[in-house]
Each structure stands twice: as C-alpha cells, then as structure tokens.
Structure 1
Amino acid sequence: MRTALLLLLLLALAAVPGSLFPQRSADPNGVVQHFAQDPAMAELLDTFQLFDVYSSVWFSAIYLLLFLSLIGCVVPRIRHHVTAIRAAPPATPKNLGRLPAHQRDIVTNVPLLDAVDEAERELREARYRVVRAQESDGQISLAAERGYLRETGNLIFHIALVGVLITVAIGGGFKYTGQRVLVEGQTFVNSRLAFDSFEAGRFVTDDSLPPFSLTLERFTVSYVTDNVNALGLADAFVADVSVSSRAAESRTSARIEVNSPLSVDGSDIYLLGNGYAPRITVRDPSGAVVFTDTVPFLPQDANLTSLGVVKVPDGLARQVGMIGFFYPTRATTSAGASYSSYPDLVLPVLTLNVYVGDLGLDAGIPKSVYQLDTSAMTEVAGGESGVAALELTPGSQAELPGGLGSVELDDIPRFASFDIAHDPTQVPVLVAAIAALVGLSLSLFVPRRRVWIRATQLRGAVQLEYGGLARGDDPQLLPSVESLVRRIATRLTRTTPKDRS
C-alpha cells in the first residue's frame, strides 16, 4: 500500500508538466508557437516528451508500476476479507468490563432464554452478524459483529482505481483526437488525411473512423460593448455548422459553443480557438491568378493582432514567401508601431513582409504552414530591406517588388479551430469513478464494531452485560451501545438499572 501511495503521488507530480507545456493532443498550435519562439528549447523539451506527457515513456512506466502495485495490494486483501466475512464473530471475552464501552442491565419477570432471544433479535435487526454460545457456568452469550462494509468499500475503491487504469490503458488504444482549422464555408471530412494534426491509439485504423462531414457555415463572436472596464472582451463564441453523417438521412444544422460540443457518430467536436483568415490573391505580371486562398492568421494577443504566412512556390519568376501581420482594428503607438486596439473588424489592415528565394518545399521535408524558413531567402519588402512593407485593406491591391506581380486582400472571413475526439473510455471511467466514490464513502462512514452480550440468571431476574469494541477510533461507540441497551430494554420488562458503569 505504501508503494501504491508513493506511485500515485509520483503520477500526480508527473502530470504537472502536462499543464505547464502545450500538448500536441490538445493544443498543437501552442506547440508550433513554442518551436517558432525558441526552437532550441522546444527541441530539448520534445526530447523529454514534455509536449506528449501522457503518452511518454516515463509517464507510462509510472502508470504501469502503479497498476501492478495496486493489483498486488488488492488481491491479498480480497482473499483476507472473504475469509474474515465467512468466519464467526470472536467469542465473548471473559471480562467485558475491560472493554471501552461497558453496560449492565437487570430485567425481572423474564426467562433467561426469552431475554437472550429478544437481544439476538434486536442485534439482527441492527444488521449485526450474531453467534449464540452456551457458556460452562450456565450463562448464555451473544457475539455480534457489523461493519464489514467498511472494508468492502475500501476494496471497491481500490478495485475501481484498477478499473480506471485498465480502462484507460486498453480503451486508450481505441480513442483518437485530431484538430482541424476551418474557415467559414469550408468543409471537413472525417478521414486521417483531412486533419491538421491527428493522434490515435494503436487499434485505430482508417476504416474505424466514422464517416461524416462538417461544414462551418458561420462563426460569430459577440463582444462586450456596454462596460468600459470590459470593452472588447468576448462573451460568446458560436460556430454554426452543418453536418452530414451515417446516422442522419439528410444534412442537419447544428451549433457548437465553448463547453458545448457536438456529438456525431460517437465523436465529440469541440470548439477550441478562432481568428481571422484573410483571403489573399496573388497575380503574375500579366494578371493571371497564381495563388488564391484563405490563410489562417494565428492570434498573438487578446485584440487578435495576428501572424500568418503566405507561400507562393509556383507561377511567378521566383518563389515568394510573405510574413503577414493582421490588425482587425489598426492603431499605432507614438513610435509608429502598429497594433490592434479592438478584436472586431473596425479598421482592418494587413501588412506583408516579402521574401524571395528558396521556400525549401522541394526537399521533401514537411513544412509548417504557419512558419516561413527565410534562411535561403532574401527580404525585399519590410523589415531591414529598405522598402516599406506592403499594406492592404479589404479590396485593395499592392505591387510585389521587382515586378513579380501583385497581391490583393479580397475579404476577411473568420476561422475556427475544432478538436474532434472519440473516447470509448468515458462511460467505463465514469462508472469506475462512481464506484470509487461509493466505496470511499462506505470506508469513511461505516463503523466497524463488535458487541457482546452475556446473560446471567440471577434469583428472580436476568442480568444482561454489554461490551462494545470498535476497530479504530469511533467516538460513537459508547452512545451506540447505550442505544442498544435502551432498545433491548423496551422489549423486556425491566427494573431500574443497577450497577450501571
């Protein structure tokens, strides 16, 4: 048990990095930002699997050791508990007066056997296991015991913990989670290749993913406008979507909000984040379109000052990359630096730093759409190039340096980031958690007590001597024995108690 408790504490400590660092399974964008801000440190953290804490080797090792320790703790205790339940209550001690709770009562006009029968009946009604014994000197004693539910509850609690471990260990192989960014009007089809990032258990196959499609029809954010102290804070995020699934005969409309996921064919769809995705069009010198797409820009602050990357590998004389800053409501500091003063589209401006050279896309190495490797590129607009960054407003156009062509900002739809998760362990874990709570309650609130009653025939009366003993600290032991004396007394004709101690 000490080993299990130590491992449980160690498991809790091992889970702490999961809340300190973004996890790929829940916040892939946060991991990308870590690599963008400090690649060396991010590589070091990734070496120790701190971006995948809950699936890391060291976390799994602690998890497995805790499981084995709990099994080694519970199995012998179950065997011992079953043996104890089947055993008879301990025989009545010779000297009941030494017990923590001791009472005597004398009843008259009641035969000895009748007094014992009534006492036994009362004990059984109080849910005691009772054994009657005939003692050598003519006395009759009752040995009673109750409270085995306390140990039963303790075992239920530990078995439930083992159940949680088994469920998560095995059921985790059938769960998957993936993230996808959708711009208003875009459709997502639930397949492995359609996710921006995807993690699955070892038993998940492409065929096991339920076939459904999700279209983001409209994403709406409402902001606080009637409170100066909270001006610009978002108070509601609503994603209006349409869904086509195997279970539905036709496409249905639905709404996803924060903490209000949508369930489709056993998968839950959560709303994670949002931002703007300006629609950018790039043309060659002749006016032919060589690139047009909505580009999600990652928010950098609460007012949605956002950063994005545009890559144009083909269609122009040279490969072009652009790093853009989008300001929903542009404002400038006294030093001339731009920032967004409000998260809604009041005065939207897009600025672009332009690079030409090798985008590094021909090496066959996957590249993040949110990062631009400028190591083999030359900055020709913005930054230290000596040429002002391109500045666009909705519907405007700017010429690319060197006669490469032009770039336009068409419109500015919103995007929403969704987490699609399937977790078959939820119901079993809930059942195990409820069982653990019930077991813990039994182990805390059910007292373990033993009571003995010795009946002695006196001249014209019967003396009933009571003794009580509790396992552990039980402040209610003496009141409980006193209450038992009173209840038995109501069944019998008794005189004023003598020698009550």
Structure 2
Amino acid sequence: MTVSELAVEQPPAGGQPPGRRTPGILSAAWAAARNGWRQLTSMRTALVLLFLLAVAAIPGSILPQRSVKVEDVQRYYAANPGLAPIVDRLWGFDVYASPWFAAIYLLLFTSLIGCVTPRLADHVRAMRTPPPDAPKNLHRLPQHAELATAVDAAAAKAALRGWRTVRREQADGTVTLAAEKGFLKETGNLLFHSSLLVILIGVGLGSQWGWHAGRLIVAGPEQVFCNTVQQYDDFGLGPRIDAGDLPGFCLELTDFRAEFHDNGMPISFEADVAVSDAAHGDLGRRSFQVNHPLRLDGANVYLLGHGYAPVLRYTDAAGVTQETVVPFPFTDPTLTSSGVAAFPDANGSDKAKQMAFEGLYLPTANQAPYITSEHPEERNPALMLTAYRGDLGLDAGIPSSVYELDQRQIETGRLKRYGEAKLLRPGETWTLEDGSRLQFLGTRQWITVSIRHDPGEPIVLTGAVLLLAGLPLSLYGRRRRVWLRLHPDGRAEAGGLPRTEYPGFEDEFRSLVERWQR
C-alpha cells in the first residue's frame, strides 16, 4: 500500500470521518432540544415563569400606560424629559403589549401545556388500569393484619364501597380483592394546573379583543351619551378592535338616588337610564347600582361615582343669554365640588371680554367661611363663585382641563379676576359691574360610568372555578391501596399501602379490617 493510499484511508486528525460528522451534530442538537423541552415543561419552570409574569406586570402598575390614559404618559414626559424616552424604548408605557412580556406569557403558556398534557394522559391511563393483584408477601407492606375469623368474599367486597375493587381467583382456590382509592388528588392537581392555562387563555383573549372606556353623564335629554370614541372621556381599545366594532347604544340619565347615613357615609347608589340603539330603537328604562352593572348587548356599564352639576344662566351686557350645565367634580366625601363655568361667546366675538366663573359647590353649607360641605345630600345648597374676564385661551390649541381655568392666561394677565366673590343660593341672581347677570338655576345629578367588554371574562371565570375546585382536592386527596387474600383453608390476611403521605391511613386500614372481621 502506497503512502498516498494510507493518507486517503486515514481519518482526519482529531475527529471522525467526514461522512459521520452530520449524524453526530444532529444527535447532539436533538439531545439539547429534548433536554430544553424537559426543562421548559417541568413544574419548577412553570412556577418560575409564573413568578416572572407577576414581576413583569409591576411596571404596568407603576408607570402610566398608553392603553389606559395617554394624558398620564404625556405628563410623565413633561415631568421626566430625560428618563421618559428611555422608559419608552423599553416598552415601559406599553408593558402588556411589549415583546418581553409576550415572551414570558407564551413561554408560560407552552410550559403549562407541556406539563399538563403528559400528566393528563398518565392519569387517564392509571384510572383505566385495574388495581394490581395482591403482593406475594403482604406482611412486608406498611400495614398488615391477620384476620381471626373467616371472611366471605362477597361481604368483604361490599365493605369496600367507594373503592375501585377487582376480585381475582387463583388456580389453588385463593381469592384476592384488590382495591384502590384517592384518584381525586391527581384529578385536583390537573384541574388546578389546567385552570391556570384556562385563565391565561381568557386573559389573552380579553387583552386582544376587549375594550374599556370612561364617561361622565349628566342628567337631561340634551346630555344623552352615545357609545362612540368621540364621546369618551378616556378609553382603551384592544389591538384587534377599532372604533367601528363598538356596539351602538345610547344612554340618557333620567334619575339618580343616593342614600347616606347621618355621618355622610353612603348606603346605596342607584341610577336610572333610558337605553336605545340603532337596531331596536327605544329599549326602555333600566336601573343599575354599584357592583350590579347594566348589562347590554356587547358591553357592561358599571356605576363608579356621582356628583352635582350646577345649572347657570348668563346674560351679557348686550342682553344675550346663554345657559350651561357644568359638572363639578367632588373633592371630598361630603361632595364639596369645584369647577368652572365658561362662556366664551359672551359679549360678542371679543376675546378680551370672554367670561368664566370658578368656584365651589356645597350641597350642605352652614355658615361662613364656606369652604367645605357638611353632608353629601343637598340640605342647604350654596354656590361660591369668582368671576374672571378676558381671553380664556380656548383657541390656543393647547390641551387643558375643562374643570379649571388656564393658569397661563391668568399669569400673563390675559384673564383677570372680575369683581368680588359671590355666594349664590338656588334661584338667586348675581349682577356684575358691567350690568351682566348670572343666575344660579339649581343643579342636576351626574354619574361616572365605566363601559367595558371583555370576551375572555367567562373563560377566566371558568378557570377560577376550576382552580377553586381543584385546589382542595389536590391538598386533601390521598391515594392508597388495600388487598385482602382469602385462603382455601379459611385464613385471611390483609395489607395496605398509601401511595402518598397519609398520616391517617393506619386508622382507616384498622377500621376496614374491623368491618371485614364483622
């Protein structure tokens, strides 16, 4: 053999022949993938991922979220101009839509599926498999007993009511009874872990196809609210939902009833609304309360709070009259409320003569100084107002709250205080220096509602029921086996084996032996 032939037949230094490298690489990759799958589908990994999911949700509770309120994100940018862009690049304002949150969510979802599915198959197989025959040496089991009297096989089997029992007869005439009990423990375990999977499915479905919105509704036919994005005070739509998918219903607040204790603590709130939609027209009047929402086709309406909206009529110096209903948000539990009534069209088109009235509404005002109300009911209503005249800044294009004056206009002198503050009772009129008049006509009720639709809610409820059903079964279920061997000569012996830790098994076995002997 020549040197060249030897060189061809020799394998490359430090490795196997070229034709055998690929199977080795594939085998190593398959082993790594198999081990990775085993680690991912272990219960320890599932618990770690569940903990990580809870930790990952913390920023969504601390930081403002765009899906909840964009204005809060804008305020965070204004307060933290250096930090906010970094937080935004890390998806801090869109935590639940971030790729890292979705990765944890999907890994947990996969881990639970891979963990529960094999255990479910094993559990079904175990339930279909009959209990094994009695061991040859029953005296080696943790529980063993020799029965002093002869035992009838039929009577012994009847004493095992509630146990899964199999009777076997041997060739020598020996009869054995094998009984098993406690499958509910593993059933509870599977229900518990399956419930987490069901809850994850429901939460994921709700986050994609769900939506929520908030709205303040004032009583009165001209204050009807229709379910459109333009009329929301704030809203959040799921990624799979757009404005055209919202159900088309309208609500008119017709009445509101509130009961309070003498100390001002609330007893009950109940709102009456007239409901209509484009498909069916007038749907009649409905009532709903706190924790008892108004359930409509495609949405639930929850009652959150209520307050008062002063009704004001302003007549300018030229005799032009305007009337407005202004909701005043409350600032304390006694419904002391503050707000602004603006009249931008007063005194013609001159911006320098626009009017606004800022003040407090007290449902129960007793004596000066009129700062807070003494009770949330309207027992002695009073409205303390301060007039302002000038440019309200409504045409500046800068977002501002409708419940307070633009402080920038006041600081720059474009909007100035006009006269002294005035206390008005319902029906009273305030005449200003230029001859214009403001009349306090009374108040209307307003309510704040949360309108929500979550298609995953029934699935989450099902998961919660499964969790509550499976947890006690997994904690208190005990799997165990007992055997009874009846010899042809009349001797009988019994044995028992707990499949899980069960401190009470000795007493249960002793009670079972006593029933056999009787």
Shorter-chain TM-score tier = 0.7 to 0.9
Residue ranges of structure 1 left out of the alignment (5+ in a row): 491-501
User: Are the equivalent residues in 2 in contact too, given 1:35–1:42 (CA < 8 A)?
Assistant: no
**CA, structure 1 residues 348+23, in 2 after alignment: closer, same or farther (shift >3 Å)?**
farther
Residues 305-316 of structure 1 aligned to structure 2 (within 5 Å)? 305-314=336-345, 315-316=348-349
Which letter does structure 1 place at the counterpart of 2:504?
A: Q
C-alpha distance in 2 between matches for 1:332 and 1:462 = 100
2:492 maps to what in 1? Answer: 464
* Of 279, 292, 296, the match for 1:260: 292
2:403 maps to what in 1? Answer: 370
| Bigger mean CA deviation after superposition, 206-215 or 6-15 | 6-15
2:166 maps to what in 1? Answer: 130
**CA, structure 1 residues 359+470, in 2 after alignment: closer, same or farther (shift >3 Å)?**
same
Which letter does structure 1 place at the counterpart of 2:338?
A: L
1:448 maps to what in 2? Answer: 479
* Deviation, structure 1 residue 9: 4.6
Which letter does structure 2 place at the counterpart of 1:103?
A: A
User: Are the equivalent residues in 2 in contact too, given 1:101–1:468 (CA < 8 A)?
Assistant: yes
Aligned-partner SS, 1:277:
strand
2:376 maps to what in 1? Answer: 343
The reply on whether 1:200 has 2:242 as its aligned counterpart is: no
C-alpha distance in 1 between matches for 2:92 and 2:336 = 28
C-alpha distance in 1 between matches for 2:230 and 2:95 = 24
**TM-score normalised by the chain length of structure 2:** 0.74
User: Are the equivalent residues in 2 in contact too, given 1:328–1:344 (CA < 8 A)?
Assistant: yes
2:271 maps to what in 1? Answer: 239
**TM-score normalised by the chain length of structure 1:** 0.77
1:75 maps to what in 2? Answer: 117
* Deviation, structure 1 residue 469: 1.2
Residues 90-101 of structure 1 aligned to structure 2 (within 5 Å)? 90=132, 92-101=134-143
The reply on whether 1:394 has 2:426 as its aligned counterpart is: yes
**CA, structure 1 residues 42+188, in 2 after alignment: closer, same or farther (shift >3 Å)?**
farther
User: Are the equivalent residues in 2 in contact too, given 1:381–1:389 (CA < 8 A)?
Assistant: no
1:75-99 residue CA offsets vs partner (Å, 9 max, x unmatched): 2322333443455545544432232
* Of 33, 37, 40, the match for 2:79: 40
Aligned-partner SS, 1:73:
helix
1:494 maps to what in 2? Answer: none
2:258 maps to what in 1? Answer: 221
1:454-474 residue CA offsets vs partner (Å, 9 max, x unmatched): 3334xxx32222111112222
1:425 maps to what in 2? Answer: 456
| Bigger mean CA deviation after superposition, 14-23 or 343-352 | 14-23
User: Are the equivalent residues in 1 in contact too, given 2:167–2:175 (CA < 8 A)?
Assistant: no
- More relative contact order in 1 or in 2 (CA 8 Å, sep 6+)? 1
The reply on whether 1:153 has 2:188 as its aligned counterpart is: yes
User: Are the equivalent residues in 1 in contact too, given 2:331–2:338 (CA < 8 A)?
Assistant: yes
Aligned-partner SS, 1:77:
helix
**CA, structure 1 residues 119+339, in 2 after alignment: closer, same or farther (shift >3 Å)?**
closer
Aligned-partner SS, 1:388:
coil
C-alpha distance in 2 between matches for 1:276 and 1:473 = 64
1:241-266 residue CA offsets vs partner (Å, 9 max, x unmatched): 22224786744222222223222224
C-alpha distance in 2 between matches for 1:7 and 1:469 = 36
C-alpha distance in 1 between matches for 2:449 and 2:372 = 27
**CA, structure 1 residues 422+347, in 2 after alignment: closer, same or farther (shift >3 Å)?**
same
* Deviation, structure 1 residue 412: 1.6
C-alpha distance in 2 between matches for 1:161 and 1:305 = 45
The reply on whether 1:478 has 2:506 as its aligned counterpart is: yes
**CA, structure 1 residues 355+50, in 2 after alignment: closer, same or farther (shift >3 Å)?**
farther
**CA, structure 1 residues 117+160, in 2 after alignment: closer, same or farther (shift >3 Å)?**
same
1:279-333 residue CA offsets vs partner (Å, 9 max, x unmatched): 23444431223x5321111100112121213344444522555543222233566
| Bigger mean CA deviation after superposition, 138-147 or 291-300 | 138-147
C-alpha distance in 2 between matches for 1:390 and 1:379 = 25
1:191 maps to what in 2? Answer: 228
1:410 maps to what in 2? Answer: 441
User: Are the equivalent residues in 2 in contact too, given 1:356–1:379 (CA < 8 A)?
Assistant: no
Which letter does structure 2 place at the counterpart of 1:310?
A: A
Aligned-partner SS, 1:340:
coil
User: Are the equivalent residues in 1 in contact too, given 2:370–2:384 (CA < 8 A)?
Assistant: no
* Of 304, 320, 323, the match for 1:292: 323
Which letter does structure 1 place at the counterpart of 2:145?
A: Q
Which letter does structure 1 place at the counterpart of 2:246?
A: L
Over the matched positions of the two proteins, sequence identity in percent amounts to 39
Aligned-partner SS, 2:376:
coil
C-alpha distance in 1 between matches for 2:238 and 2:137 = 64
C-alpha distance in 2 between matches for 1:249 and 1:413 = 26
**CA, structure 1 residues 159+88, in 2 after alignment: closer, same or farther (shift >3 Å)?**
same
C-alpha distance in 1 between matches for 2:387 and 2:57 = 41
**CA, structure 1 residues 412+431, in 2 after alignment: closer, same or farther (shift >3 Å)?**
same
* Deviation, structure 1 residue 216: 0.8
C-alpha distance in 1 between matches for 2:80 and 2:453 = 32
**CA, structure 1 residues 247+44, in 2 after alignment: closer, same or farther (shift >3 Å)?**
farther
C-alpha distance in 2 between matches for 1:390 and 1:316 = 26
**CA, structure 1 residues 472+418, in 2 after alignment: closer, same or farther (shift >3 Å)?**
same
Which letter does structure 2 place at the counterpart of 1:285?
A: A
1:72-125 residue CA offsets vs partner (Å, 9 max, x unmatched): 3212322333443455545544432232221111445x8xxxx556655655x4
C-alpha distance in 2 between matches for 1:361 and 1:58 = 42
* Deviation, structure 1 residue 17: 8.0
Q: CA RMSD in A?
A: 4.2
Aligned-partner SS, 2:319:
coil
C-alpha distance in 1 between matches for 2:289 and 2:162 = 53
* Deviation, structure 1 residue 378: 4.5
C-alpha distance in 2 between matches for 1:43 and 1:60 = 27
Which letter does structure 1 place at the counterpart of 2:258?
A: V
Residue ranges of structure 2 left out of the alignment (5+ in a row): 1-42
